[in-house]
A and B are shown apart, each in its own frame.
Chain A
Amino acid sequence: MRLRYPSNLKIIRVPCSGRVAIIHLLKALEEGADGVMVAGCLEGDCHYQAGNLRARKRVNYVREILEKIGMEVDRVAMYNVSAGDGPKFADIAREMTEKVKELGPSPIKDAKKLASKKSKVEVAA
């Protein structure tokens, strides 16, 4: 189909969105990801019955955590897209990227950079 979607998207393949745990989403943010989206199958279409529904609950839980610690909740989002619907995947990839671009770079990435600069200065001093 030669569809285009943003090249700054790193895809991590899992057997089912139900495999995605809360800690995976948090770790991605900790590592400096500007945003994380979970793309599960359409609701009602899960091969394992409820994997995508569980994924949505976990995404919502992470969004709650983000709200409590004062980070933008929209850095984490859940989407449902059929495995056979390439154009929709490209659409949501663009949508998510745009949303995250609007939010700007992750505060974690900035703070980490600053911290490593500081520690370098400390070492130099």
Chain B
Amino acid sequence: MIMAKPKPIEEIINEIKDFNKVLIAGCDGCVTVCEAGGSKEVQVLASALRLFFTKESKRIEIDETSLTRQCDKDYLRELLDKIDNYDAVVSLACGAGVQFMAEMYRNKPIFPGVDTCFIGVTEERGVWTERCQACGQCILARTGGICPIARCSKRMLNGPCGGSEKGKCEVSPETDCGWHLIYERLKELGQLDYFSKPADPKDWVSSRDGGPRKIVREDVRL
């Protein structure tokens, strides 16, 4: 899932301080799972903002809502009737949600309420880690189900590098060496022979190097 973390409240205050009516819009998708932008976080942020502006004797009305997903027009349309009641929206969705809302409601300033971080997993409650960089050409079949693009700090295709020490990366002693993990896993699977076939250079056009990406599937289009 897409992982995000709450933006510092000072930053949000600074963006909305000159408006009179602001809507805080959460997203019940990924950002709810990482406890950054769901309906609970909307309540907390809205309440904290109300406290701040009341204390400052500024009369800003702050309302709350949360949509099933903000990366889907059908759900964004739920705001059609009420969006004109507001001067601005703080969206707690990931960067994609914020942008899609801004595309649909062109005359409204839409501010991000979270910092979108990565595609990752919930290791335990409160701990999320990166697993995928959406490079557009999955090579997990050859690497024991561990991604060298996301897990190796250098994104090496044929690792490990000389900076791997006792299973840790030279970038930080807390970071596992992705290629060490791959080696151990391939050993467990009896697939160490994959190491004898070096990987070909990767075509990064399917990643960000090819510009903003698009998937069109005629089989599912209406």
Contact = CB atoms under 8 A, between A and B. Distances in A.
Contacts of A23: 40, 43-44, 47
Interface string A87-125: 000000000000000000001100110110000000000
Interface string B55-75: 111010000000000000000
Contact of A69 (B51, B57, B59): B51
B186 to A, nearest CB: 39
Interface of B: 8-10, 13, 40, 43-44, 47-48, 50-52, 54-57, 59
B40 A71 contact: no
Given A26-B44, A111-B57, A114-B57, A71 B51 contact: yes
A115 B51 contact: no
A65 B50 CA distance: 12
Contacts of A21: 40
Given A65-B9, A69-B9, A30 B47 contact: yes
29 contacts: A21-B40, A23-B43, A23-B44, A23-B47, A26-B44, A26-B47, A26-B51, A27-B47, A30-B47, A65-B9, A65-B48, A68-B8, A68-B10, A69-B13, A69-B51, A69-B52, A69-B55, A70-B52, A70-B55, A71-B55, A107-B54, A107-B55, A108-B55, A111-B54, A111-B56, A112-B54, A114-B57, A115-B54, A115-B57
Contacts of B56: 111
Contacts of A114: 57
A46 interface: no
Contacts of A81: none
Nearest to A27: B47
B35 to A, nearest CB: 11
Contacts of B40: 21, 23
A43 to B, nearest CB: 19
A73 interface: no
Given A23-B43, A26-B44, A30-B50, 4 more contacts: A30-B47, A70-B52, A108-B55, A115-B57
B59 A26 contact: no
Contacts of A112: 54
A22 interface: yes
Contacts of A115: 54, 57, 59
B48 A26 contact: yes
B181 to A, nearest CB: 31
A16 interface: no
B51 A30 contact: yes
A62 to B, nearest CB: 9
Nearest to A114: B57
A29 interface: yes
A115 B8 CA distance: 27
B188 to A, nearest CB: 35
